Amino acid sequence: MSKCRPCVITLLTDFGYQDAYVGIIKGVITGINPVVKIIDICHNVSPQNILNGAYLLYTSYKYFPAGTIHVAIVDPGVGSKRDIVCVKTRNYLFVVPNNGILSFVVKEEKPEYIIRITNNKYFLPSISNTFHGRDIFAPVAAYLSLEIKLRQLGKKINQLELLDILAVKAKNNEQLEGNIIYVDRFGNLITNITKQHIKSLEINYKYLKILIGKKKIVGMSKNYADVNKGKPLALFGSTGFLEISISHGNAQKYFKVNTSSRIYVR
């Protein structure tokens, strides 16, 4: 792993921007490593929604320099027996609860090494039952940025928990059944259907039919401005997935759908 200098720690959480939780985490990190760069990926993961966090981490982790330490905390099991793990891949370190939040990432970056974090030498002196972000994740990430050895954190384990990610179903090479996995601020609907899936249909992009609820889009677009204002369109979004949008508008409101709503392509 080539190292970034100065080292970067990213934060992805469901702590929101209403409270001081994220600021506190940055205080703890800065107290241990005053020169590390801390970059927010996002703190508005839908509360306790691991799928949402897994998707956002997947879309962003690879745009950071090799050696970046990614801390992702969507942790409904905080204080219970769930593990906190450090996962080393070819290019990155991840400090996460072992609850499936790496489900998308590990499809691209194979875990080379998984440590169950137990060594309280690298925790805050007093551990609360409700805020491990401050008491465990933050100091562990900060010490990792000071290049302690992974094996000092705890014992190696072999298996990561993974989410049952809703798979795309293909029917006789004629139809795909997928799901909306994310809705962004603009109301764009991101699905779990990739370019590969659609190629398998062997249908010209111009004639593809995309069905959402009782509505239909015919043909793929290249960008948001390809159709008239207020009209729906389908395109491959910036993350590589099939995405449904309204030109200058909000597709979630237009189609009245939500995360995990079905979508068909034929």
CB 57 within 8 A of CB 105: yes
Q: Does 56 bind a second copy (CB under 8 A)?
A: yes
Q: Does 248 bind a second copy (CB under 8 A)?
A: yes
Q: Does 18 bind a second copy (CB under 8 A)?
A: yes
Burial class (CB in 10 A: 0-12, 13-18, 19+), 3: exposed
Q: Does 258 bind a second copy (CB under 8 A)?
A: no
Token pair of 152 as six digits: 């000092």
Distance CA 192, CA 177 (A): 10
CB 249 within 8 A of CB 265: no
How far is CA 127 from its chain centroid? 27
Residue 20 or residue 172: which is nearer to a second copy going by CB?
A: 20
Those residues with Cβ within 8 angstroms of residue 25's Cβ, 6 or more apart along the chain or in another chain: 11, 13, 133, 134, 137, 138
Among 1, 2, 9, 44, binds a second copy (CB under 8 A): 44
Q: Does 233 bind a second copy (CB under 8 A)?
A: no
Q: Does 15 bind a second copy (CB under 8 A)?
A: yes
Q: Which stretch binds a second copy (CB under 8 A): 78-86, 96-104, 155-163, 209-217?
A: 78-86
What single-letter DSSP state applies at residue 259?
T
Interface map 159-198 toward a second copy (x if CB under 8 A): -------------------------xxx------------
Residue 177 or residue 249: which is nearer to a second copy going by CB?
A: 249
Q: Does 123 bind a second copy (CB under 8 A)?
A: no
Q: Does 200 bind a second copy (CB under 8 A)?
A: no
The half-sphere exposure of 172 on its side-chain side, counting CA atoms within 13 A, is 2
Q: How far is CA 216 from CA 99, 207, 208, 259, in A?
A: 36, 12, 10, 18
Shortest Å, Cβ 199 to a second copy: 17
Token pair of 145 as six digits: 């940025």
Q: Does 77 bind a second copy (CB under 8 A)?
A: yes
Q: Does 72 bind a second copy (CB under 8 A)?
A: no
What does the binding site for a second copy look like in residue numbers (CB under 8 A)?
4-6, 8, 10, 12, 15-24, 26-28, 30-31, 34-35, 37-44, 47-48, 56-57, 59-60, 63-65, 68, 76-80, 128-131, 134-135, 184-186, 222-225, 235, 237-238, 243, 248
